[in-house]
Chain A
Amino acid sequence: MANLIKNRRPAADPWQLLEPAADGGQPVIPPHGDIIVPLVTWLEQRDTLLSRSGRLGVWLDSDEEPALLGDDLRLFGVVAVNFSQFTDGRGYSIARLLRERYGWRGELRAIGDVQRDQLFYLARCGFDAFALREGEDLQSALSAFGDFSEAYQASVERAQPLFRRRILASSDGMEWS
């Protein structure tokens, strides 16, 4: 089982990730337990999914539109974004949209090709949970969040860009040289 990091700590994973069947069809929905379903499954089997006993999560692929979740977001215990390859950067924008535009405050999980060297940027874009790719070293991954102590841009982690924070700091009497 892959390592999960949540809020920068190793975490147990109660969720079962459902993927489309090999022929691309809908996954089989287990009657119990906490599941994360593909966006299409949610859109097509909404009622079935809502009548189950376990908690529900949804995952998006990088070419899927987070706006489709709309008001449904409140129904989920987790939202995940899939990186089929780590070089596909669309998930970074999707994460920011979920956090900054659609108001998602729950667990936002990166799944798929999730490696140590992308964690710092992923976290800045709003991911707080990371299902590491098979074979990733957990300790090394945990250290990734400290790769940089500062960043110029506005981000989900720090809504104020550096240039605004500098001004706040200098008005507090701090020296920034």
Chain B
Amino acid sequence: MYVYDEIDQRIVEQRVTQFRDQTRRFLAGVLSEDDFRPLRLQNGLYIQRYAPMLRVAIPYGLLSSRQLRALAHIARTWDKDYGHFSTRQNIQFNWPRLEDVPDILAHLATVQMHAIQTSGNCIRNTTTDHFAGTAPDEIVDPLVWCELIRQWSTCHPEFAYLPRKFKIAVSGAEHDRAAVQVHDIGLQARRDEKGEIGFRVLAGGGLGRTPIIGAVIREFLPWQHLLTYLDAILRVYNRYGRRDNKYRARIKILVKELTPEVFRRKVEEEWIHLKDGPATLIPEEIQRIERRFIRPQYRKLDLPEAGYTLALVRDNGFANWVRRNVHPHKVAGYAAVTLSLKKTGVAPGDASAAQMDAVADLADRYSFGELRVSHEQNLILSDVRQNDLLALWQEAKALGLATPNIGLITNIIACPGGDFCSLANAKSIPVAEAIQRRFDDLDYQHDIGELDLNISGCMNSCGHHHIGHIGILGVDKQGQEYYQISIGGAQGNEASLGKVLGPSVSQAEVPDVIEKLIELYLARRDSEAERFIDVVRRIGVEPFKECVYGKSHQEPAPRSRSLAAA
């Protein structure tokens, strides 16, 4: 956990004072709605369907138990007793009153938190691997670099009014768990042959209306140059990104229209002027940031106790949970544990104030007082002793947080959808619930195996439907809520974008369609080891199309005609 120094704290507090005055002037009629909008957005405040929505930053998904308790307090005091963890490792409150927001932000500042730049056309919260610092396959711990980027991007004077929002993700492991290929900038930390840290820089990736996999614009950027290179990319985007059309304004469109080669050249031309300038990083700063991180003091642990091993054999429920929700750790004797926020009947990513308090207690007792928010909208205790797993499981189960479904079909990523969001075409939460109910049988879920199912209520793709093995997108069909289903998307190293199966279907039909897809997959897989996504890649989309829509939809009409003529 990074601990603020006096200056970090002061910047956050002054931001609260500034926003308090802006809110006062808005409420007094001095600031117009148009003039206030970008200011409130850059402090996390949307005006939503029913009430304002406040998005609080959880920088790179890292939270202390004290901070989580503060979030619970906010949910209880100013909201309806719950919060929603988002796919960008943030938390959203759906019911605050506009006039209360400065007080909420002031409360956040007391626990070194803020809502700075969680919305608006600026650099947003940097995200990373939810196992950062603990994953066995990690090459570079990304946390220090994420904090450096947080500081660099916070109140950056040049980039507060970009053409559109801007998201940076950092991964430091062999397996990308931060979706770096679908971010405006993706940074893959690596080491050169001398062991020096650097980054592979990708730009122009993104989901939304025009999903694109990012292009590599630099294979290896030595760490000293990280901030000057980011400045160069952002400056090129700020100056040349499209501002005439909101839907063409993300950096991915600029990279695509210029071509990655030309974009890269423009960045390099800009960078020549910034390279080795004052913003060049120095070892002292890296060490200073590292020293301000409180790291878990791991103990040298003995082998797992007999009780743990015995419980694995005796208790199928525990064994299932360990199989799905417990993840390997770089330190022997420890494990990372996902507390699932995907229990059937609860909106994906939602947690009550009581649950937040309880999880904070679990973090204190089992995981050095720290936890993570994953982009899959779950909470993670990252440093649990293996010998504590059984006790933790029992407690998590009592709290409704031990659904053993991580990586399975019911671990659905979903945006808040039409129930809350004013942008949405269709609801997400009831669709997620209907699918969870259809596949409620745990044995069946485990038999289906690894499957990412993601739901977005509109083209903005907050639910990452493009990179779900199965993706569901809410669309508006003459005022009716319909759902377009795609398959073949994936996150991680082999990121790919899903292909649309066919015409959209009604809400009631969605679980049937999903079931047909699963049945076909089960019939066609060559073994239990072959995952849904593997089968889609092997046999293609056509057989799935056919099983959902029948033979008639298989061939496009003109081709059928020419075949008939032949």
- By a beta-carbon cutoff of 8 Å, the part of chain A in contact with chain B is 86-90, 92-94, 96, 101, 115, 117, 120-122, 124-125, 137, 140, 147-155, 159-164, 166-167, 176-177
Contact = CB atoms under 8 A, between A and B. Distances in A.
B35 A117 contact: yes
Interface string B128-164: 0000000000000000000000011011111111100
Nearest to A94: B239
B460 interface: no
Contacts of B6: 176-177
Nearest to B241: A90
A88 to B, nearest CB: 6
Nearest to A101: B273
B149 to A, nearest CB: 11
Contacts of A160: 278
A67 to B, nearest CB: 11
A60 to B, nearest CB: 12
Given A92-B157, A149-B14, A154 B39 contact: no
5 contacts: A90-B238, A121-B157, A125-B158, A151-B11, A162-B7
A130 B459 CA distance: 40
B502 interface: no
Contacts of A153: 152, 155-157, 279
A124 to B, nearest CB: 4
**A101, A117, A120, A153: most-surrounded residue (chain B CB, <10 A):** A153
B157 A151 contact: yes
Contacts of B156: 152-153
B243 interface: yes
Contacts of A115: 35
Given A87-B121, A176-B7, A96 B158 contact: yes
B269 to A, nearest CB: 11
Nearest to A121: B157
A152 B155 contact: yes
Interface in B305-338: none
A176 B158 CA distance: 26
A89 B284 contact: no
Given A152-B151, A161-B278, A176-B5, A166 B157 contact: no
Nearest to B4: A177
Contacts of A88: 161, 243
Nearest to A157: B157
A155 B243 contact: no
B267 to A, nearest CB: 14
Contacts of A166: 7, 288
Given A115-B35, A147-B18, A89 B159 contact: yes
Contacts of A89: 121, 158-162, 238
A162 B25 CA distance: 31
B279 A161 contact: yes
A154 B279 contact: yes
Interface string B1-26: 00001110011001101100010010
Contacts of A151: 11, 155, 157
A82 to B, nearest CB: 14
A88 B160 CA distance: 10
The 9 nearest A-B residue pairs measured at CB:
A89-B161, A124-B157, A121-B157, A163-B285, A152-B151, A154-B279, A92-B158, A154-B278, A147-B18
A147 B116 CA distance: 15
B235 interface: yes
B5 A87 contact: no
B277 interface: yes
A87 B278 contact: no
Nearest to B154: A152
A151 B277 CA distance: 17
A89 B161 CA distance: 4
Nearest to B36: A117
A163 B282 contact: yes
Interface string B440-482: 0000000000000000000000000000000000000000000
Contact of B157 (A90, A155, A162, A177): A155
B161 A92 contact: yes
A160 B285 CA distance: 13
